[in-house]
């Protein structure tokens, strides 16, 4: 018996845990599981060794005997019994047709010479044969099967390998049949092996080295080296699966096999010449004429002469427009399309116009008639006279208003230091010069000079404060502190030990609520600053941190989240020393 303890012992990481480092707890769990599996396997193998060398525990209670000298035949045919003479464990020779020969050995069969029961020759079974595991047929074959195991309703059986049948799940309506391969591996376990070396062939239910007058119940797999001959009804009940079948029961010539339900095989067709098989979803497939199919794409379309254009003459109907004369253009008339001469078509736009010299300007001289105005002299401008347009010198024009002036030495009006401003559409006025140090500020209609102090420029630092509701230990609340639209944060103070976070807006505060203390916020998440205090103390912010409000309509609110770290229920008060840069 080959030990399988190493299947788990080799997975134990002997270098884990690593001293002096923080080891992942998953490594401890992996080693614990592998050690447990190795000990469990060792216990099972020790138990089997005790059974094998302590005595034969398989007890033959009853036996069905065909013919005479049963004990002699068994003694000559059964091998691989670990202890003693098998005849010492047979209480007597049992004759008749009502007794049962039970083999309680559970050794798995993976070939014709493995398993709890082994027959070197053929096996003739007059009654039904029930196989709890998989039926594997070697060089022989199963002649007919009414149904194939597995597969859902509408599944199509196909050979995934030589001698290997798999099921292709039914496709969606209109899909085409496509194959891919799968495989299966049977595994099992241990104990004693009974081998019948008698090689008498079986040609009927009453011939062969092993003959069973009644049924045979086999919990494991059954491997048949020769042919499997079934003399019962055409319906075969198989809980497992048959690896290979030469023929399927039922059906007519030319029909296609498919699974109409799990473990139930049915037939479709046969179709007529030229028809193709199409999936109907979970229902069975059917043969249809090619003319009834809608194809997603095609390389060629049947019919039409060289140069013909495809056109839909009706819903689901394609016809052809013969090739037009040289130079003609295809034009829609709202129902179909026809070839027209280029001269008969009015074009909405054109990349180039015929005639005209370099620099000429196209102009409509009348309805449907285009001509050109020659290029003017350098610096001249094009002016309309009400009927056409002509180039004129720029200095002859009087401009009421202008968006830009290429060259202007002076602008009329305004005192020294005045600034120009549009007082209305097409109207320019001036703003007198402001006082020294004042700043120009828009009020939404015009602009005026205001002092720098009124804008928060050059202001002194101030302390803004906000308090939470009473918070239990390690619980979090929010505070909206009235501060500034844009500011420098210099210090932060709390009345009790707390974890303080400042945000640009309420959305950023909400999105960050799941982050734990000690975990860095994501870049661009709206977190401006976070401070952890251990008592009522002032935390110096170095270097100073910029803060700002990012509401849709900018306000002076500073959004703050606080977690009470004091160990008792308390109201957390946050005081921020800031320098306002925007009011």
Tell me if 468 is assigned to some domain: yes
State the pLDDT at residue 93.
40
State the pLDDT at residue 573.
96
Tell me if 279 is assigned to some domain: yes
Round to whole Å and give the CA distance between 222 and 110: 8
Tell me if 145 is assigned to some domain: yes
Same-domain check for residues 168 and 281? yes
Same-domain check for residues 42 and 168? no
Same-domain check for residues 171 and 37? no
Round to whole Å and give the CA distance between 157 and 150: 9
What domain range is 10 assigned to? 6-54
Same-domain check for residues 466 and 562? yes
Residue 150 — φ and ψ, nearest 5°? 80, -175
Tell me if 356 is assigned to some domain: no
> Whole-model pTM?
0.28
Alpha-carbon distance values, 68 to 64, 94, 135, 267, 480 (Å): 11, 10, 32, 50, 102
Same-domain check for residues 23 and 159? no
Q: State the number of CA atoms in the 13 A half-sphere of 424 facing the CB.
A: 1
User: What is the sign, positive or negative, of the torsion defined by CA atoms of 67, 69, 74, 76?
Assistant: negative
**Last residue in a domain, options 289, 318, 343:** 289
Contacts of 297 (CB under 8 A, 6+ apart): none
**Last residue in a domain, options 254, 289, 324:** 289
Q: How many structural domains does the chain have? A: 3
Round to whole Å and give the CA distance between 38 and 7: 8
Number of helices and strands in the chain (H, E): 4, 35
Joined together, the tokens standing for residue 568 give 């008792």
Same-domain check for residues 13 and 132? no
Per-residue pLDDT of the chain (583 residues; tens, 9 = 90+): 678 888 878 889 888 888 888 888 888 888 889 899 889 998 988 888 888 766 544 544 333 333 344 444 444 444 444 333 444 444 444 444 555 667 889 999 988 889 998 988 888 898 888 888 877 776 666 666 778 777 888 888 877 777 777 877 877 776 655 556 667 554 554 444 668 889 999 998 899 999 998 888 888 788 888 887 777 655 566 666 666 667 777 788 888 888 888 878 888 878 888 788 888 888 888 888 876 666 666 667 777 888 888 888 888 778 889 998 998 888 888 889 898 887 677 766 666 777 778 888 988 888 878 888 999 898 888 989 888 989 988 777 766 555 555 555 567 677 888 888 888 887 888 888 988 767 787 888 898 887 665 565 557 899 999 999 999 999 999 999 999 999 999 999 999 999 999 999 999 999 999 999 999 999 999 999 999 999 888 999 999 999 999 999 999 999 999 999 999 999 999 999 999 998 7
Tell me if 510 is assigned to some domain: yes
Widest CA span in the chain: 140
User: What is the sign, positive or negative, of the torsion defined by CA atoms of 292, 296, 302, 304?
Assistant: positive
Query: Between β-strands 129-131 and 216-218, what pairing exists: parallel, antiparallel or unpaired?
Result: parallel
State the pLDDT at residue 287.
86
Q: Give the residues across from 459 on adjacent strands.
A: none
**Last residue in a domain, options 241, 259, 289:** 289
Same-domain check for residues 264 and 140? yes
Residue listed under structure tokens 């190795």:
38
User: What is the SS3 assignment for 435?
Assistant: coil
CA angle, 503 as apex, 497 and 507 as ends, to 5°? Answer: 120
CA angle, 123 as apex, 117 and 125 as ends, to 5°? Answer: 105
State the pLDDT at residue 87.
42
Round to whole Å and give the CA distance between 234 and 582: 93
Burial class of 271 by CB neighbour count within 10 A (0 to 12, 13 to 18, 19+): middle
Number of C-beta neighbours around residue 515 at 10 A: 16
Alpha-carbon distance values, 261 to 152, 158, 239, 249 (Å): 5, 16, 15, 16
Tell me if 347 is assigned to some domain: no
Query: Between β-strands 557-564 and 498-503, what pairing exists: parallel, antiparallel or unpaired?
Result: antiparallel
Same-domain check for residues 134 and 248? yes
Round to whole Å and give the CA distance between 237 and 581: 87
Per DSSP, 273 falls in state T
State the pLDDT at residue 516.
93
Contacts of 386 (CB under 8 A, 6+ apart): none
H runs (alpha helix) in 171-287: none
Contacts of 351 (CB under 8 A, 6+ apart): none
User: What is the SS3 assignment for 49?
Assistant: helix
Nearest residue to 132 via CA among 32, 27, 240, 11: 240
Q: Do the beta carbons of residue 321 and residue 309 sit within 8 Å?
A: yes
Joined together, the tokens standing for residue 211 give 């003959």
Give per-residue burial for 534-548: e unless 16+ CB within 10 Å, then b.
eeeeeeebeeeeebe
Same-domain check for residues 134 and 261? yes
Round to whole Å and give the CA distance between 241 and 185: 12
Tell me if 386 is assigned to some domain: no
Same-domain check for residues 44 and 187? no
Q: Do the beta carbons of residue 505 and residue 478 sit within 8 Å?
A: no
Same-domain check for residues 464 and 545? yes
Tell me if 151 is assigned to some domain: yes
Round to whole Å and give the CA distance between 576 and 317: 77
User: What is the SS3 assignment for 100?
Assistant: coil
Q: Do the beta carbons of residue 561 and residue 506 sit within 8 Å?
A: no
Round to whole Å and give the CA distance between 130 and 269: 33
Alpha-carbon distance values, 50 to 4, 53, 108, 427, 447 (Å): 17, 5, 20, 112, 103
Same-domain check for residues 125 and 40? no
């Amino acid at each position: 018996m080959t030990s399988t303890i190493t299947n788990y012992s080799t997975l134990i990481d002997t270098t884990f845990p690593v001293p002096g480092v923080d080891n992942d707890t998953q490594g401890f769990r992996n080693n614990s599981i592998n050690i447990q599996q190795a000990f469990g396997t060792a216990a099972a193998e020790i138990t089997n060794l005790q059974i094998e060398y302590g005595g034969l525990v398989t007890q033959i209670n009853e036996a069905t005997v065909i013919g005479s000298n049963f004990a002699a035949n068994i003694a000559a045919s059964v091998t691989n019994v670990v202890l003693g003479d098998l005849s010492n464990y047979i209480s007597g020779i049992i004759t008749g047709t009502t007794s049962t020969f039970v083999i309680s050995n559970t050794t798995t069969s993976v070939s014709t010479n493995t398993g709890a029961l082994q027959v070197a020759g053929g096996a003739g079974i007059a009654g039904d044969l029930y196989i709890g595991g998989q039926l594997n047929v070697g060089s022989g074959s199963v002649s007919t099967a009414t149904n194939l195991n597995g597969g859902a309703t509408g599944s199509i059986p196909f050979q995934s390998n030589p001698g290997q049948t798999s099921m292709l799940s039914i496709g969606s309506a209109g899909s085409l049949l496509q194959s891919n391969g799968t495989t299966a591996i049977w595994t099992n376990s241990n104990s004693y092996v009974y081998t019948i070396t008698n090689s008498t062939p079986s040609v009927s239910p009453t011939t062969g080295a092993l003959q069973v007058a009644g049924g045979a119940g086999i919990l494991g797999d059954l491997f048949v080296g020769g042919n499997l001959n079934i003399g019962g009804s055409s319906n075969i009940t198989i809980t497992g699966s048959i690896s290979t079948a030469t023929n399927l029961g039922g059906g007519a010539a030319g029909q296609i096999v498919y699974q109409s339900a799990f473990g139930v095989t049915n037939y479709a067709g046969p179709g007529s010449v030229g028809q193709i098989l199409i999936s109907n979803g979970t229902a069975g497939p059917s043969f249809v004429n090619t003319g009834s199919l809608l194809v997603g794409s095609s390389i060629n379309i049947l019919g039409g002469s060289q140069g013909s254009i495809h056109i839909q003459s009706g819903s689901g109907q394609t016809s052809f427009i013969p090739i037009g004369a040289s130079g003609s253009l295809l034009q829609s008339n709202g129902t179909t399309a026809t070839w027209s001469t280029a001269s008969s078509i009015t074009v909405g736009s054109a990349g180039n116009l015929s005639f005209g010299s370099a620099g000429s300007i196209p102009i409509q001289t009348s309805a449907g008639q285009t001509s050109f105005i020659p290029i003017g002299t350098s610096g001249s401008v094009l002016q309309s006279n009400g009927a056409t347009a002509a180039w004129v010198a720029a200095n002859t024009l009087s401009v009421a208003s202008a968006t830009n002036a290429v060259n202007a030495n002076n602008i009329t009006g305004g005192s020294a230091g005045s600034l120009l401003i549009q007082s209305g559409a097409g109207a320019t006025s001036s703003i007198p010069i402001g006082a020294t140090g004042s700043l120009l500020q828009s009020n939404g209609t015009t602009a005026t000079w205001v002092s720098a102090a009124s804008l928060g420029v050059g202001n002194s630092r101030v302390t803004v404060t906000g308090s939470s509701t009473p918070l239990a230990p390690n619980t979090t609340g929010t505070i909206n502190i009235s501060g500034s639209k844009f500011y420098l944060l210099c210090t932060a103070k709390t009345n009790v030990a707390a974890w303080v976070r400042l945000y640009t807006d309420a959305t950023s505060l909400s999105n960050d609520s799941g982050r734990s203390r000690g975990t860095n916020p994501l870049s661009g998440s709206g977190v401006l600053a976070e401070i952890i205090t251990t008592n009522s103390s002032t935390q110096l912010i170095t270097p100073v941190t910029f803060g700002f409000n990012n509401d849709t309509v900018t306000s002076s609110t500073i959004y703050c989240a606080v977690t009470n770290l004091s160990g008792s229920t308390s109201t957390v008060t946050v005081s921020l020393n800031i320098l306002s840069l925007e009011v």
